[in-house]
Amino acid sequence: MIKKSFIAGIIVLLFAISILVEMQVSEVVDANPYMYMGPTSTRTDTNPPIVSIFSPTNTTFYNLRTVVLSFNVSEPTGPHVLGPPTVSNSPFINVIYYKASWLEQNVTVYEYSSDPYSGHATNGQYTKYSNNLNLTKIPEGHHSITVYTQYSGLYFPSTDPGAPLSTNSFLIWGSSTVNFTIDTINPTPTPTPSVPEFSWLIILPLFLFTISIVVLIRKGKVQP
């Protein structure tokens, strides 16, 4: 009798544990039913991130050896890039750097980093970014600056019924370039207005007419 009761108790305990495990699995699936399947190549219908450079202005001359690099970047777009509202996985920036023609090395402006234990970002996680940088000691001559950015994102499957609940990560680059000139030795002079040549055609006859009037008046005074 004791043995039967013990076995019955074990069965009840196992049944209760199975119910708890099923509830936990159900909560995880409801929270994020998508399974990560690893990296994949970038789809052709994914638009790269947009890099906009506002300063320095393209093909402009500057008479100082200092310019302001002003730019912003915005996230890539395309089908299956953004997940359903219940899954927040917008593409985020991995790195932003610029290459200046007068510098030997690239200059990193922002680089994503995360805590190795928690996986949380340690310096912010951005989907958009803007900055203004003072660039000094630029040598004379023609120069170029290219701003590069790389995004990480996830592709989600079709929302059609029966589509596989899986995701794949992707990387995508964007860039923009401006060209400008530093000329502090021979800055472009400001043109000065000149007297039109045709004005002498007016001034000379007026001058001769005036002289003629004066001569006639003097002759009239001399006559008795």
What is the Cα 14 distance to its own chain's centre?
57
Q: Please compute the mean of the pLDDT values over residues 189-216 and round it to a whole number.
A: 61
Largest CA distance in the chain: 168
Helix, strand, coil % (nearest 5) of the chain? 25, 35, 40
CA 185 to CA 164: how far, in whole Å? 66
Q: Please compute the mean of the pLDDT values over residues 135-148 and round it to a whole number.
A: 97
Does the pLDDT at position 190 exceed 70?
A: no
166 bridge partner residues: 35
Tell which wins on pLDDT, 39 or 13.
Answer: 39
Tell which wins on pLDDT, 102 or 82.
Answer: 102
CA 103 to CA 127: how far, in whole Å? 28
- Residue 26, pLDDT score: 40
- Residue 123, pLDDT score: 76
- Residue 21, pLDDT score: 43
CA 31 to CA 61: how far, in whole Å? 56
- Residue 184, pLDDT score: 92
CA dihedral 149→154→155→157, nearest 10 degrees, is -170
Enumerate the H helices of 138-187 as residue ranges: none
Residues 6+ positions from 78 with CB-CB distance below 8 Å: 43, 45, 46, 47
Tell which wins on pLDDT, 160 or 37.
Answer: 37
